[in-house]
Amino acid sequence: MNKAIKTLVATVVFMASSVAMAGDGKVAVLDVQEAILSTNAAKAEMKSFESRSDVAKMISDAEKLKKDIIALRGDVEKGGSGAQEKQKTIEFKQADFELIVRKLNAERQAAGKKLMDSIGPRLEGAVKSIVEAEGIGLLLDRKAAIHADPAFDITARVTEKLNASGKK
């Protein structure tokens, strides 16, 4: 998902730079990832994702493994008999935990890519219309700015446009 977001940011910045070369204009910042993740579509997609039975089971299993690992580590720190056996159990549970986390991350990335594919084309249009309407001559990724007054941030307006274009 990060690669897709970076590509969209580059596209948006490129579009804005062509406007900047045209003359004087305002400067603005945009957090593309936040704009997309704040949309109604993204929130619904994440809710749907987390309510899937396979995902809910993986989350539940991961939480249980984490609790077990913490409890076993406490037992190992106390010492006593069976500490080595408990340490091996921790290692097995840790491996299971990491596998589940990797699977969850892969599923999240797939869901994120699907979301980006559906919202990406609308994002370009939303940004372009705001850039043109407000006479923005330079648009920067908000994360690249050392400081930006909130008045320069168009992230919420982009989210609003995306939400509005999603209803059509």
d(CA 69, CA 73): 6
| Planar angle of CA 20, 160, 111, nearest 5 degrees | 100
Can you give the residue range of the structural domain that contains 34? 2-167
Residue 39 has pLDDT above 80, yes or no: yes
| Planar angle of CA 6, 17, 160, nearest 5 degrees | 65
Amino acid (one-letter) located at 152: F
Strand ranges (E), the chain: 26-30, 136-141
Residue 163 has pLDDT above 60, yes or no: yes
The encoded tokens of residue 162 equal 């995306």
Q: Which of 4-13, 34-43, 55-64, 148-157 has the lowest mean pLDDT?
A: 4-13
Compute the mean pLDDT over every residue in the chain, rounded to the nearest whole number: 85
What average pLDDT score do residues 72-94 get? 87
Residue 21 has pLDDT above 80, yes or no: no
The 10s digit of each residue's pLDDT in 104-120 is 999 989 988 888 888 88
pLDDT category at 22 given cuts 50, 70, 90 is very low
Overall domain count for the chain: 1
Q: What pTM, to 2 d.p., does this model score? A: 0.65
